[in-house]
Amino acid sequence: MYNKNYELWKNANLEQELKDELNNLTEEKINEAFYKDLDFGTGGLRGIMGVGTNRINSITIKKSTQGYADYLNENFTNPSVAISYDNRINSKKYANIAARVLAANNIKTYLVSELRPTPYLSFLIRHFKTSGGIMITASHNPKEYNGYKVYEPHGGQLNLENSEKVIKKISEVTNIFDIKELDNNLINVLDLNSLDTIYLDLVKGIELNKFSNPATILYSPLHGTGSTLIPRLLEEFSYNYYSFLPHMINDGNFPNTRSSNPEEKIAYIDPIEYAKEIKADSIILTDPDADRIGAAVYHNGEYIILNGNQIAVITLNYLLENKKDIKNGYIFMSNVTTDLIKVIGESYNINVVKTLPGFKFIAEQMDKLDKESTYVFGCEESNGNIISPFVRDKDAVQATLMLSEISSYVKANNMSMIDYLDNIYQKYGYFIEDTLSFNFKGIDGPDKMNDLMEYLRTNHLEINGFELESIEDNKTMKITNLKTNEVKTSSLAKSNIIKFVYSDKSWIMARPSGTEPKLKIYISVNDKNISDAKNKHQAIKEVINNLINNN
């Protein structure tokens, strides 16, 4: 099949860059680039840029946009779309292509005039009351990647039902080399000055306390979109703020970073060296599309990197300590996020709702809240949260402002952020979480991941010293209690996820990533004693690494 696709592309009228790349492909590269169509997943496309049906390029962007346009025209009257993009190579080009394809389909667009964060797109959708949105980004992936995320009218990513409808429409697009584009007055290029002010004023509304001696903050956007808004925000709040200048350049090659992912420790190596010079209290990184936040905080002479769960726990605890009279409050969290969120929330009599991984599911639940309920917080373990619900995708701009405030709070109380976190653990118990990612690249990668998932379903994860209590399998939608043999139906959507829960409430969950060729395995343990919690974590980690290496 890939040979047929290759011949079609070779005879097509391609732009010169794609044509040159096509003519220089080896047999192996031809196979990788053409053996299938790039999957339009539950939220859109993500993949390596290059020529071919299995790559991100102008042709695959046009095809997806034409399918999305057909979906919009079938489901909305006079549809409109907001479009934004990040700093990646070709992001602006792909955003403009999408706008022109939509214009050719008589669909009005609101197109940013320069790069802006993913949460800003969510804000634009809600501000202009559009039928949806497109964000050109590959989030925290390496520089070779780009992507195309599609949004609902409420500002969250496309839900499962509508994803299937869009996928169907894309599959029906057969004239991929003859998709029309128009540059006309349906494309509204936005004046961002006034919109930036509106967005930032909404962000400012999350502030809870002011401090006379604010924290010293070192900020890096990792060459991405955070540079367009966050420095202004921190300056307007008079934080003792420094930019890490080597990362302030908007560059899709990420020339001065060791990683574009704030979840990875190597991303902090260079900022930490500068933080020592300026005696920063906190280092804050945002990923290229500024929906994820990362942080390293000063404690006892060194900088300690916080993971996404710890950032969420610290943020929620601070919010609940400072917010009064919450009426029928709700917290939303993914089911791979630390259970400490649920424990803290319920201690304040807040309703806690778990969703599948992916912020789209949190956005769906947020949108269902009635006027008698109060949104409190939404978070997931992968370094994302929403504090104020004026957007429906994780917002690192909000998160940066709140973490800066918390840094000032702990400083005013002669603590570090680690001291603050330890106080939480002493009150509620020690929770340790970890995410292990295993790469499965290449043509046979998906099959290997599926084989491992089926192995887990068949053999389970029996671990010495842990009593397996229940298995939650979202592929079969069954929750099985191994003690009573009682079987319940999962309330979550069907998904290729399996979770093993042990009698001490430790758990392990496995799922293939929805955006990368990775199998993700999540670990959560807890104990009243920190050393016991660490020992549990290490025991589970060793079993999983041995399992992966031997299969």
List the domain boundaries for the chain.
35-190, 198-428, 430-549
80 is a catalytic site residue: no
Contact (CB, 8 A) for 319 and 387: yes
The mean per-residue pLDDT over the stretch 492-502 comes to 91
- CA 440 and chain centroid, separation: 20
Cβ neighbours around 107 below 10 Å, total: 24
pLDDT attached to residue 515: 65
Same CATH topology for 35-190 and 198-428: the answer is yes
pLDDT attached to residue 1: 53
Tell me: the pLDDT tens digits for 296-318?
999 999 999 999 999 999 999 99
Q: Is residue 483 over pLDDT 60?
A: yes
Give the confidence band of 51 by pLDDT, cuts at 50, 70, 90: very high
Q: Is residue 516 over pLDDT 80?
A: no
The mean per-residue pLDDT over the stretch 66-79 comes to 98
Tell me: the pLDDT tens digits for 77-129?
999 999 999 999 999 999 999 999 999 999 999 999 999 999 999 999 999 99
Give the confidence band of 449 by pLDDT, cuts at 50, 70, 90: confident
**Could you give the CA distance from residue 321 to residue 340 in angstroms, rounded to a whole number?**
15
What DSSP designation does 461 have? -
The mean per-residue pLDDT over the stretch 264-268 comes to 97
Tell me: the pLDDT tens digits for 399-415?
999 999 999 999 999 99
Q: Across the chain, what does the average pLDDT equal?
A: 94
Q: Which CATH architecture has domain 198-428?
A: 3-Layer(aba) Sandwich (3.40)
Contact (CB, 8 A) for 61 and 112: no
Tell me: the pLDDT tens digits for 279-301?
999 999 999 999 999 999 999 99
Annotate 333-360 with DSSP letters as a single string: EETTS-THHHHHHHHTT-EEEEE-SSHH
Q: Is residue 53 over pLDDT 70?
A: yes
Tell me: the pLDDT tens digits for 517-549?
788 999 999 999 999 999 999 999 999 988 888
Hey, what CATH topology would domain 35-190 get? Alpha-D-Glucose-1,6-Bisphosphate; Chain A, domain 3 (3.40.120)
Hey, what CATH topology would domain 430-549 get? TATA-Binding Protein (3.30.310)
Give the pair of three-digit tokens for residue 109. 């667009």
The mean per-residue pLDDT over the stretch 424-445 comes to 89
Q: At residue 463, what is the residue type?
A: I
Q: Is residue 2 over pLDDT 70?
A: no
pLDDT attached to residue 514: 67
Q: Is residue 214 over pLDDT 90?
A: yes
Q: Closest Cα partner for 311 from 235, 371, 380, 244?
A: 380
Q: Is residue 263 over pLDDT 90?
A: yes
Q: Which of 139, 259, 404, 495 is catalytic?
A: 139
pLDDT attached to residue 512: 87
